Structure 1
Amino acid sequence: MDASFDHIVVGAGSAGCVLAGRLSEDPATRVLLLEAGPPDRSLWIHLPIGYGKTMWDKRLNWCFETDPDPNMNGRRIYWPRGRTLGGSSSINGLIYIRGQHEDYDAWAAAGNAGWSHAELLPYFRRSEGNARGGDRWHGGDGPLKVSDIGAKHPLIEAFIAGAESIGVPRTEDFNGARQEGAGYYQLTTHRGWRCSTAVAYLRPARGRPNLRVETDAHVTGLVFEGRRAVGVRYRQHGQDHEVRCRGEVLLAAGALQSPQLLQLSGVGDPALLARHGIPLRHALPGVGENLQDHLQFRLIFECTQPITTNDELNSWLGQAKIGLQWLLARKGPLAVGINQGGCFMKALPGETATPDIQFHVATLSAEMAGGQVHPFSGFTFSVCQLRPSSRGHVRIRSTDPFEPPEMQPNYLSTDLDRRTAIAAVKAARAIAASAPMRGLVKREVKPGPAAADDAAILEFCRNAGATIFHPSGTCKMGRDALAVVDERLRVHGLEGLRVVDCSVMPTLVSGNTNAPVVAMAEKAVDMIREDAARGRLAQPQGATAPALQTVEA
């Protein structure tokens, strides 16, 4: 490369595409975006129901596994993560949820100025292009398209009515004044196609001469001069490269690989780095700690009527029908994905002021998310705890940047999480047993009647619980001993280096993580521009930025 760059963005995922797209809007700002995976050309990425295919595709998915978790009876949990332009926004379940106002207010109260809900709302609105139009809570013309699920489904209608019967109000908007309620989800789709951040932010920017996008470029480490990050090393098509920038390196590799890159580069817990013989660049014990994730429990039911997506997918006529629905009108199951409806409610109402569990309701059933559907008419209630108190970690195993790090979630390691899991399963059963749903439930397939008491329910949760794909928190924002970045997402004690992805969340948001990360990246762009302007104003007259050196090893 013979061009100079102001910023190097590591990872073209939910945050990285936003950073590259927005920063390159300024023609005077040169941006390099590096993505370890291939371009997002697969049809299965862009077809909403293709989630079931990309879930297992190692070209597009890192297909990680956790270490054996003692709290899950020693099981390894499959953790898919996006490995293509758009990152996990190219392979996720499409659900547009922001979380609760209180999530962000808690971040601000912990010393992270500027991160309250009121302060972050403008970035949610700026990013969102909601098909319903803009209002106090929503944006109508932002790049990330958000659409309603068109046709009503009898199973989702029955679920909503069942939730109402146990005291959960129906809602038309989980992302407005309050989150609590049952209803249909809105999805990040547009005219029957997935709207990933690669589609929303990167595609309109690809023709800009000041933006360079390199795919199949796996970043292996950071380059420092003293305490300043000045570039990165990466491997592409078997060749090692080093590239430098005159502004900032922006880590957007996700909650698993951003801390891995910091640790490989000598930033992290001194004891961990010493064990692997990595020279200490900067001591930050919190790198890789504070790992949080949403653990889901999937209750599977057989339906009394052939109205499920299982029935359509298990017959040639049904497949032809849903194919024609999409081809002719961009509607039907192919345009929707897996989960259509859900609810946010209190499983432990005496212990929480806001909903503490979330449901994803799928009109199909399979042994695991993205798996082959069952041969019977089936549907799924997936329920997860919104704010787990269990904490895990991400730590390198070796100095090999291509070896996945140790990932230990420590699911269900606290009493609160275990009690919430049991209460969540009971809440799902209460909705399934309600009058509006009773006529559609032939039998509970999983966990089944054997899970009759709290101990048996908890054992089901340990044996069948799985990620709902939201690992976060491993480079937390804050001021305490485990904080990695400050409120402007700058790595503590270093210069020219920020982290912008799920890893900076001090605590996990109460819901799906894609929309919050997009808004966080929008806010980060403003902070990057503001800090760059301050730097230019503070620069002595006549001073110039150092020239960029690009070295190919």
Structure 2
Amino acid sequence: MAWPHATPGHGLRQAARRRTMRERRLEQGEAGMEETDIIVVGSGSAGSALAGRLSEDPRLSVTVLEAGSRDRNAWLHIPIGYAKTMYHPTISWNYQTEAEPGLGGRSVPWPRGRVLGGSSAINGLIYIRGQMEDYDQWRQMGCTGWGFEDCLPYFKRAEGNERGPSHLHGAEGPLCVSDLRDRNPLSVAFLEAARELGFPVNPDFNGESQEGAGWYQVTVRNGVRCSAATAFLKPALRRPNLRLLTDAHALRVLMEDGRAVGVAYRQHGQEKVIRARREVVLSGGAINSPQLLMLSGIGPAEHLQEMGIEVRRDTPGVGRHLQDHFQARLMFRASQRGSLNEMVNSLWGMARMGAQYALTRSGPLTFAAGTSGLFARVLPQSATPDVQFHFIPWSADTVKEGLHRFPGFTMSVCQLRPESRGDITLASPDPMAKARIRANYLATETDRQCMVEGLKLAQRLADTRAMQPWIESRYAPAPGKGETDEDLLEFCRNTGGTIYHPTSTCRMGSDEGAVVDTELRVKGVDRLRIADCSIMPAVVSGNTNAGAIMIGERCAEFIRRAA
């Protein structure tokens, strides 16, 4: 079967020949190559954890390649700053999906971090591991050693939870996990509404059970964002065996006799090479890691040939099995004070927020992309929560356009275990070109039904005695437009989109379609591993940052054990 979007032609073949000749010259040493033991491509959640931990062994030299710049923008460190950085022209990759058939042909923006810390520097800060059952399912899918009890020690090792240690939590790790400092009255009302509908109070979404309503914990230290780079990488740069290269865009993995020997990258307009004495690890995420594999000749042979790329290893699973959490947002006009919209649209309110943050590191500038939340089951066949609510005490059509001029708030509904699968393919053999993303949202009846039932639950929450005093009217869907299942599905198609959790494009497993084994080694290629969310056999039930960091911790141990 032909891969989508292929555009074979003389120009592609010529470009591929030029690339191959240049690569051979570089491999033969004509560029004054540097050497290191381990190359880590990407300084995001997994890459920072991996590099920081590897550098604890003084016998190993580690070099991190980051395509973006240092994290010097002030908004990268203020918790609510993600509203300023997600679509920043240089801090974000600013990806877009292809036209999505399930969304009426719309293309969906996919911001990903292109800066030190990767997406952990621009994400919504919420610390969720997912359900214990997610990891036990990984084990049942053939990923021996990846059940929840196997992964728990690595979650705990990474975590510095301000609540203190327990059998499920760590308190001494570098990743600070803290309670929200500001408990907005609208967010309190949402929790009261959930209790009114009979949902249990859940003080810890990463505890024994995920189900219920409660406050999110966030990756914030003393009112300042704690990205993976802040937690793991930057403190480790004091060690002489760790080096960070920023503005270093990886072009391809260099191969000799079926093994990875280095990485070609572009920095400040020049093409350079660094060789790895031991291993190369890709930590670029669910888009960049499969793209880099394919640019290096590792991927579906037919697609690589159509792109004019020499096939080094026919691996059909590269770029396939893409999963992402889909969200739709109900928004309301608020009838009482408490919405962040009012403060942002007032000079006095802005000054007050700024002063509060500067003096106490508290207030609205410490808000995450969800204050209170709810995990619930809306499908009769679900044994565990299948939807996640992010309650947000402000409203906006898009983050780019800014908050509404009227007081408002949002209930975001996210499906936790989508059945739909998409893919990542190359648009060009040019390493600087963006990959093509096809998320394939709402492709199955289960996915469509789950989203509709989740939105119906959101409306029931809005109708409670607890929420009604806060609501002037519903803004989206407009009154009279969201009354039937068909209306709600159409609303999803017209307005829904990503909640920024792509995974599984280089999935781990023991079957023929898997890309990496249970120690994250790329199958059929020596000295090459992948450590990021692309290796997840299935997306976890919740935000993915914590899981990515756990994967980085585990990969570091695999490499140190091998070394």
Q: Structure 1 residue 433 and structure 2 residue 473: aligned?
A: no
Distance in 2, matches of 1:2 and 1:225, equals 15
The amino acid of 2:431's aligned partner reads P
User: For 1:403-459, what per-residue CA distance to the aligned partner results, in whole angstroms no more than 9, with x for missing partners?
Assistant: 111100000000100100110110111111111111111111001221221111101
Q: Helix, strand or coil for the counterpart of 1:104?
A: helix
Tell me what 2:218 maps to: 187
Q: Map 1:158-307 to 2 at 5 A.
A: 158-307=189-338
Q: Helix, strand or coil for the counterpart of 2:287?
A: helix
Given candidates 358, 372, 375, the residue that maps to 2:388 is: 358
Q: Helix, strand or coil for the counterpart of 2:116?
A: coil
Distance in 1, matches of 2:538 and 2:166, equals 28
The amino acid of 1:120's aligned partner reads C
Distance in 2, matches of 1:150 and 1:413, equals 40
Tell me what 2:412 maps to: 382
Distance in 1, matches of 2:400 and 2:542, equals 20
Distance in 2, matches of 1:112 and 1:382, equals 32
Q: Would you say the 8 A contact 1:192–1:336 is kept in 2?
A: no
Given candidates 347, 350, 356, the residue that maps to 1:325 is: 356
Distance in 2, matches of 1:369 and 1:95, equals 18
Distance in 2, matches of 1:409 and 1:253, equals 18
Q: Structure 1 residue 421 and structure 2 residue 451: aligned?
A: yes
Q: Helix, strand or coil for the counterpart of 1:339?
A: coil
Distance in 2, matches of 1:152 and 1:328, equals 18
Distance in 2, matches of 1:211 and 1:371, equals 40
Tell me what 2:67 maps to: 36
Q: Would you say the 8 A contact 2:126–2:368 is kept in 1?
A: no
Q: Would you say the 8 A contact 1:4–1:30 is kept in 2?
A: no
Per the TM alignment, residue 2 of structure 1 is displaced from its structure 2 partner at its CA by 7.2
Distance in 1, matches of 2:413 and 2:393, equals 15
Tell me what 1:368 maps to: 398
Per the TM alignment, residue 362 of structure 1 is displaced from its structure 2 partner at its CA by 0.6
The amino acid of 1:200's aligned partner reads A
The amino acid of 1:123's aligned partner reads Y
Tell me what 2:157 maps to: 126
Distance in 2, matches of 1:371 and 1:417, equals 29
Q: Map 1:31-70 to 2 at 5 A.
A: 31-70=62-101
User: For 1:353-379, what per-residue CA distance to the aligned partner results, in whole angstroms no more than 9, with x for missing partners?
Assistant: 000000011110000246400011100
Q: Matched residue pairs, number?
A: 531
Q: Would you say the 8 A contact 2:182–2:367 is kept in 1?
A: no
Q: Map 1:511-550 to 2 at 5 A.
A: 511-532=542-563
Q: Would you say the 8 A contact 1:338–1:364 is kept in 2?
A: no
Q: Would you say the 8 A contact 1:9–1:250 is kept in 2?
A: yes
Distance in 2, matches of 1:318 and 1:277, equals 57
Distance in 1, matches of 2:327 and 2:540, equals 15
CA RMSD of aligned residues (A): 1.0
The amino acid of 1:22's aligned partner reads R
The amino acid of 1:435's aligned partner reads R
Distance in 1, matches of 2:34 and 2:286, equals 30
Q: Helix, strand or coil for the counterpart of 2:397?
A: coil
Q: Helix, strand or coil for the counterpart of 1:95?
A: coil
The amino acid of 1:204's aligned partner reads P
Distance in 1, matches of 2:535 and 2:34, equals 31
Tell me what 1:443 maps to: 473
Against the structure 1 CA distance between its residues 370 and 193, is the aligned structure 2 distance closer, same or farther, given a 3 Å change threshold?
Answer: farther
Q: Helix, strand or coil for the counterpart of 2:277?
A: coil
Tell me what 2:430 maps to: 400
Q: Would you say the 8 A contact 2:48–2:552 is kept in 1?
A: no
Tell me what 1:467 maps to: 498
Distance in 2, matches of 1:491 and 1:87, equals 22
User: For 1:155-192, what per-residue CA distance to the aligned partner results, in whole angstroms no more than 9, with x for missing partners?
Assistant: 11111111112221111100010111111100100011
Per the TM alignment, residue 285 of structure 1 is displaced from its structure 2 partner at its CA by 0.3
The amino acid of 2:396's aligned partner reads A
Distance in 1, matches of 2:182 and 2:39, equals 43
Tell me what 2:523 maps to: 492
Q: Give every structure 1 segment of 4 or more consecutive aligned residues whose post-TM-superposition deviation is greater than 6 Å.
A: none
Per the TM alignment, residue 336 of structure 1 is displaced from its structure 2 partner at its CA by 2.3
Tell me what 1:84 maps to: 115
Per the TM alignment, residue 150 of structure 1 is displaced from its structure 2 partner at its CA by 2.3
Q: Map 1:1-20 to 2 at 5 A.
A: 4-20=35-51
Per the TM alignment, residue 337 of structure 1 is displaced from its structure 2 partner at its CA by 3.3
Distance in 1, matches of 2:308 and 2:182, equals 58
The amino acid of 2:442's aligned partner reads L
Per the TM alignment, residue 338 of structure 1 is displaced from its structure 2 partner at its CA by 3.6
Distance in 1, matches of 2:398 and 2:135, equals 32
Given candidates 91, 97, 108, the residue that maps to 2:139 is: 108
Tell me what 2:441 maps to: 411
Q: Helix, strand or coil for the counterpart of 1:15?
A: helix
Q: TM-score, normalised by structure 1?
A: 0.95
Distance in 1, matches of 2:123 and 2:304, equals 33
Distance in 2, matches of 1:112 and 1:378, equals 45
Q: Would you say the 8 A contact 2:316–2:513 is kept in 1?
A: yes
Per the TM alignment, residue 113 of structure 1 is displaced from its structure 2 partner at its CA by 1.1
Q: Would you say the 8 A contact 1:490–1:498 is kept in 2?
A: yes
Distance in 1, matches of 2:363 and 2:108, equals 31
Distance in 2, matches of 1:316 and 1:398, equals 47
Distance in 1, matches of 2:534 and 2:402, equals 32
Per the TM alignment, residue 341 of structure 1 is displaced from its structure 2 partner at its CA by 1.1
Q: Structure 1 residue 345 and structure 2 residue 403: aligned?
A: no
Against the structure 1 CA distance between its residues 227 and 452, is the aligned structure 2 distance closer, same or farther, given a 3 Å change threshold?
Answer: same
Tell me what 1:546 maps to: none
Given candidates 175, 185, 189, the residue that maps to 1:154 is: 185
Q: Percent identity?
A: 50
449-458 or 355-364: which moved more?
449-458
Q: Would you say the 8 A contact 1:359–1:382 is kept in 2?
A: yes
Distance in 2, matches of 1:387 and 1:325, equals 39
Distance in 1, matches of 2:41 and 2:328, equals 33
Mark the runs of 5 or more structure 1 residues left unpaired by the alignment: 533-553
Per the TM alignment, residue 3 of structure 1 is displaced from its structure 2 partner at its CA by 5.5
Q: TM-score, normalised by structure 2?
A: 0.93
The amino acid of 2:84's aligned partner reads K
The amino acid of 1:185's aligned partner reads Y
Per the TM alignment, residue 208 of structure 1 is displaced from its structure 2 partner at its CA by 1.3
